[in-house]
Chain A
């Protein structure tokens, strides 16, 4: 069986097993939607109070927030295996992953496809659509096809970046034998931070999330194209069509790190 076919087989099994508890699945998805919805309520309230966020309007924040959440929900659904790496190592389950004649990355990606993440996905998609519709009313910047292509490319880049972060997070757990809460800074914290235009942050913070963990490259710059405006920081307009490649590059680097990190692995022997 080829790697891809094996992956789809694993995903199929995982989805079917989660669908054994349909009511629980529906409630958990709805729940996640409500929780993330509550989060967005705060953003709405601040706009209600202040009118604008520097030169940014509510629908523009909606584009950024929606893009970040859609991409993160997909990455989150894909990477439960990496997120659980600390647990797998402690339980000795990771030995079983190691002895199988398949790539560890493939097996961990196939560990679980977490369907209930659809709650965050739908909530993000609704807010993203709202933002895109209002943006296009004020002078359709890219047209339908252009918007769809730019959006898809941005999501690919952002998903790759978040998957890469999760892989590095799992590498760290080889050393610590635990999942480290600090890494949440880059996953949950990353989604939170990229829900706002990066121009509002201080310089070192912008640099960290542009060149270190290139979140701005996969959310902020493509989003500028989607909302049809220029970067107040003076970046060229087309940068958003190129920059999502940074997310893909980050994923490549994380896979290389993964290969080295596997050598640190020593079984917990349980």
Chain B
């Protein structure tokens, strides 16, 4: 019963996932670009660490690893509005979507998860190979990605990264829902892009922000996308706290999805479909 209910959404996910896997040439170009940005970030961080013997909450190699993980999984983040959803809402084609006998928020969510996971997966493997294997091999251990804290930490990291993608897809869905009101979505794009950049951990590792800012970071859902899995990988989240962290991610994924559901429900009542 549950299986047959879930089937259309799994099909949405699978179809979108397969189509996203087609963009392999783009992925390779992206890998090169991201390795470049990663190298610069990492060299900057190392220079900061050399400057002063501070009691930073992350060691140098943990910070460096955090940056590489961020580059590897960058595409999990909801940086931009789904262009196809935007076009649908702009042109009125969204009427077809509304007419389908499926639960719309969930089908869009399934699509969003595929959009997060597939491109990130394509880029993550070559980047892991570069930052974990090639860098030490050419004698540049100082800026290499350290192996996970333990085998268990790696397994939990994978679980947490999947949960992080769900949170990211839910945030993307909320952003898309605002299109029902704004149509063009420029404002939402900018807002989401900036917040995600600053608060997800790709600009700088979140633990390096000032101490007084940490409670704000912990109270917001944005760290649940990347920071939570990364800290599990690095072992900076204690083993006893991992369960709570995963539950927190689940809480955000479900909570934000429900919020998106409400917004889509309200917004779709406003839709005016132009005939033609």
Chain A residues near B (Cβ < 8 Å): 24, 27-28, 31, 34-35, 37-39, 41-42, 45-46, 48-55, 180-182, 184-185, 189, 192-193, 196, 200-202, 205
Contact = CB atoms under 8 A, between A and B. Distances in A.
B47 A49 contact: no
A38 to B, nearest CB: 4
Contacts of A34: 190, 194
Contacts of B187: 27, 31
B102 interface: no
B268 interface: no
Contacts of A31: 186-187, 189-190
Contact of B198 (A42, A184, A185, A205): A42
Contact of B51 (A51, A202, A205): A51
29 contacts: A27-B186, A28-B186, A31-B187, A31-B190, A35-B190, A35-B194, A38-B203, A41-B198, A49-B48, A49-B208, A50-B48, A50-B49, A50-B51, A51-B51, A52-B52, A53-B44, A53-B47, A53-B51, A180-B29, A181-B29, A181-B30, A185-B36, A189-B33, A189-B37, A192-B40, A196-B47, A200-B43, A201-B43, A202-B43
A53 B48 contact: yes
Given A52-B51, A182-B32, A205 B203 contact: no
A122 B30 CA distance: 29
B203 to A, nearest CB: 4
A37 B194 CA distance: 9
Chain A CB count within 10 A is highest, among B26, B36, B46, B54, for B36
A50 B32 contact: no
Contacts of A202: 43
In the complex, the 8 A-B pairs of residues with the closest C-beta atoms, listed nearest first: A31-B190, A200-B47, A42-B203, A181-B29, A38-B194, A42-B204, A50-B48, A185-B36
Given A41-B203, A42-B203, A196-B44, A51 B52 contact: yes
A185 B198 CA distance: 21
B90 interface: no
A41 B193 CA distance: 14
B140 to A, nearest CB: 8
B50 interface: yes
Contacts, number: 94
B210 interface: yes
Contacts of B36: 185, 189
A24 B187 CA distance: 10
B47 to A, nearest CB: 4
Given A182-B32, A189-B36, A45 B49 contact: no
A218 to B, nearest CB: 17
A242 B194 CA distance: 38
A214 B44 CA distance: 20
B209 interface: yes
Contacts of A189: 33, 36-37, 40
A39 B54 CA distance: 23
B97 to A, nearest CB: 27
B127 to A, nearest CB: 15
A50 B49 CA distance: 7
Contacts of B193: 35
A54 B204 contact: no
A38 B200 CA distance: 12
Contacts of B262: none
A48 B33 contact: no
Contacts of B247: none
Contacts of A37: 194
Interface string B188-227: 0110011001100001100011100100000000000000
A130 B37 CA distance: 26
B50 A54 contact: yes
A264 to B, nearest CB: 20
Contacts of A192: 37, 40
Nearest to A37: B194
B186 to A, nearest CB: 6
Given A31-B190, A205-B39, A54 B47 contact: yes
A49 B190 contact: no
B40 A54 contact: no
B33 A185 contact: yes
Contacts of B40: 189, 192-193, 196, 201
A56 B260 CA distance: 46
Contacts of A27: 186-187
A38 B198 contact: yes
B211 to A, nearest CB: 9
Given A35-B193, A181-B29, A189-B37, A200 B203 contact: no
